[in-house]
Amino acid sequence: MDEKEVPSLAEIHIAASHLRSMSLPITPILTSSILNTLTGRNIYLKCENFQRTGSFKSRGALNAVLNAMKIDPNLKGFVTHSSGNHGQALSYAASIVKRPCVVVVPRGTPKNKTDAIEHYGAELVICEPTPASRTSTCLQISQERDFLIIPPFDHPDVIAGQGTIAVELLEQVPDLDAILVPVSGGGLISGIALYAKRINPNIRIFACTPEGKMLEECLNKQERLWPEPPQFLNTKCEACRLQQCGSLTFPIMCSLVEKQVFTVSDKTMIDATRFAFERLKLVVELAAGLSLGAIISQSDRLDSNIRNIALILCGGNIDLNEKLPWQQ
């Protein structure tokens, strides 16, 4: 990892204070005796499902937007491509700084998702459902309208924004031994690792992924073994469908994240999501079920001296109009 390319400790601290000044809430920590009993550890749930727009993504998007506005107060607007949480988050962040926002979504995106993006005021532009069409449409709008592109994870300010979770976490939970983080592009785990490992190098940061991610092999070889062009995983967890991590996030992960990766089947993820609803009384999305499923099903893989573990419940945007995942 090239220290020049990644957010410094100071930048993450500044991000935290910026987000606080914009009234982004400090999300609470919840605990559950049943979860502690099941895992034989002390589990601390960092409830990013309670975060504005229903996921941690509002941290990174808002931090990126605020920093961009500081550099150029005359910025005309923002654009990204996302059918999910980052789209909602950027729509929200742009509304905070009173700038227009375009979110490019692939044809066929469910209405509940496009509604959520439009809710915060963004304009939707429909593209073909291919990675190439998403990128080119986004670029075209950026050029035509002179809007700044805010990518979902591979951006220092986005990473610094996600890192503010760790600023809160280390204040909320003393003596933390490990943090389990769901991974897609890697922005969330990079931000958390950059902050937590610099404050306390003994904290261990574990990635949780769907099957087929190949992350453990990549981390062990410190090499991008993923096939090109970028592939999508065969998982019901839409937020973690991307196989590759980012070109900025992967080196950070290589230097700061444990080589041991928790790979979780869709069944385990869905069971854990159900557990969150039924026993924890929390509405979470499948990506949050990923880290929960990892600790419930594989806690015996962790060293016995790892006692205090934080789980990032990354979001709560699950479709409540349709059957729940375990009913399907």
Q: How far is the CB of 298 from a second copy (least distance, A)?
A: 24
The verdict on 274 binding a second copy (CB under 8 A) reads yes
Q: How far is the CB of 201 from a second copy (least distance, A)?
A: 31
d(CA 222, CA 220): 5
Residue 163: name the closest of 245, 254, 272, 48 by CA.
48
Q: How far is the CB of 52 from a second copy (least distance, A)?
A: 8
Residue 230: name the closest of 289, 296, 152 by CA.
152
Neighbours of 307 (CB within 10 A): 14
57, 113, 197, 213: the catalytic one is: 57
57 in catalytic set:
yes
Among 18, 52, 57, 134, binds a second copy (CB under 8 A): 52
Residue closer to a second copy by CB (options 152, 316) is 316
Binding segment for a second copy (CB under 8 A), chosen from 153-161, 182-190, 270-278, 293-301, is 270-278
32, 58, 83, 299: the catalytic one is: 83
The verdict on 23 binding a second copy (CB under 8 A) reads yes
The verdict on 283 binding a second copy (CB under 8 A) reads yes
Residue closer to a second copy by CB (options 45, 90) is 45
Residues 6+ apart with CB under 8 A from 77: 94, 99, 100, 101, 102, 145, 146, 147, 148
Tell me the three-class secondary structure of 36-49, residue by residue.
Answer: HHHHCCEEEEEEHH
Residues 6+ apart with CB under 8 A from 313: 45, 46, 47, 48, 49, 276, 282, 284, 288, 291, 292
Q: Encoding tokens for residue 317?
A: 């945007």
Q: How far is the CB of 204 from a second copy (least distance, A)?
A: 27
Contacts (CB under 8 A) with a second copy, residues 289-318: 316
Q: Encoding tokens for residue 177?
A: 């031994």
Per DSSP, the residues of 77-118 read -EEEE-SSHHHHHHHHHHHHTT--EEEEEETT--HHHHHHHH
Q: How far is the CB of 68 from a second copy (least distance, A)?
A: 24
**Are 181 and 189 in contact, with CB atoms under 8 Å apart?**
yes
Q: Encoding tokens for residue 53?
A: 């727009």
Residue closer to a second copy by CB (options 154, 277) is 277
The verdict on 50 binding a second copy (CB under 8 A) reads yes
Q: How far is the CB of 49 from a second copy (least distance, A)?
A: 4
Binding segment for a second copy (CB under 8 A), chosen from 101-109, 212-220, 263-271, 279-287, is 279-287
Residue 102: name the closest of 145, 56, 50 by CA.
145
247 in catalytic set:
no
**3-class secondary structure, 73:** coil
The verdict on 282 binding a second copy (CB under 8 A) reads yes
Active site residues: 57, 83
Binding site for a second copy (CB under 8 A): 23, 25, 28, 30, 33, 47, 49-50, 52, 54, 274, 277-278, 280-284, 316, 320-321, 323-324, 326-327
